[in-house]
Amino acid sequence: MSALASSAPGAATSSVMTSEVSVCNKALRYLGAPEIVALDQPSREADLCARYYAEARDELLECHHWNFATRYTSLAPLAAVPPFGFAWAYRLPGDCLRVRRLRDSQPFEVVEARTLYTDATPAEVVLTVRVTDPARFPALFVEALARRLAAALAVPLMNSTRLEQSMLQRFGDALDAARVADAAEGASDPVELNPWLTAR
C-alpha cells in the first residue's frame, strides 16, 4: 500500500501524508526547531503548535474563497424578526467562517450570535466553512499554512522578530501561489450557475 501511495498523484499522497502534526513539523523545519510526534507531547514546540495551529488555519481559510472550503446552502430561518432594516433572520452554521454572498447578490448583514439578516427568502448563500481535515488541503494551501504557522511561532518559540518578518514575507509569497492555483480550478466569486441546491 505504501508503494501505491508513493506513486499516486499529489491529491492521494496528501490524503495519506498530511496531518496536523505534519503541517506543524513543516513549520518547525522552516524555523530550524525540533520536530514533534504529537501535539499533546510534553514539549514547548508541541504546546505552541497546539496553541497556534487552529488559529492560523482558520485565518488562512477566511482570507480567500477557497474552492475546497466552499459550501452552497439554504439557511434555516429564525422565529425572531430583525429589530430593524431587514425582514428575515437566519441562523448560520457553526462551521461558517465567512458569508461570501447571497443568491442574486441580495444585501445582508451578519450580526452577533451567528445570525444573518436579509430580505431574501429563502436565504441561499455561499459560505466559506471551517475545514479541519488536513487531508483535504491542497498542497499549496498546506505550504501557505505552514509558512503562516512558522511566522506565528517565530517569536514565542525562537524569540526572533527578524525571523518572524522573514516568515511573513515567505507566507505572502506562498499565499499568492495558493490563490492563483485555486482560482485556476474554479471561479473565486461563484456565479448563479453553481449548484445551490446540492447542500440543502
Specify the pLDDT at position 186.
66
Domain boundary among 128, 158, 176: 128
Backbone angle region of 126, left / alpha / beta, with phi > 0 → left and psi within -120 to 50 → alpha: beta
Mean pLDDT, rounded, for 11-25: 73
**Domain tally, the chain:** 2
The listed range with the strongest mean pLDDT (9-13, 73-77, 79-83) is: 73-77
Q: Is residue 195 part of a domain?
A: no
Q: Is residue 32 part of a domain?
A: yes
- Confidence class for position 15, pLDDT limits 50, 70, 90: very low
Q: Is residue 196 part of a domain?
A: no
116 and 91 inside one domain: yes
Q: Is residue 116 part of a domain?
A: yes
Q: Is residue 193 part of a domain?
A: no
Please state the separation of Cα 103 from the chain's center in Å. 22
136 and 38 inside one domain: yes
> Would the pLDDT of 5 be above 70?
no
6 and 57 inside one domain: yes
pLDDT per position as a tens digit, 47-73: 999 999 999 999 999 999 999 999 999
Domain boundary among 128, 144, 164: 128
Q: Is residue 200 part of a domain?
A: no
Q: How far, in Å, CA of 111 to CA of 89, rounded?
A: 10
18 and 106 inside one domain: no
Identify which of 40, 2, 10 has the alpha carbon closest to the alpha carbon of residue 143: 10
Specify the pLDDT at position 194.
38
| Containing structural domain, residue 74 | 70-128
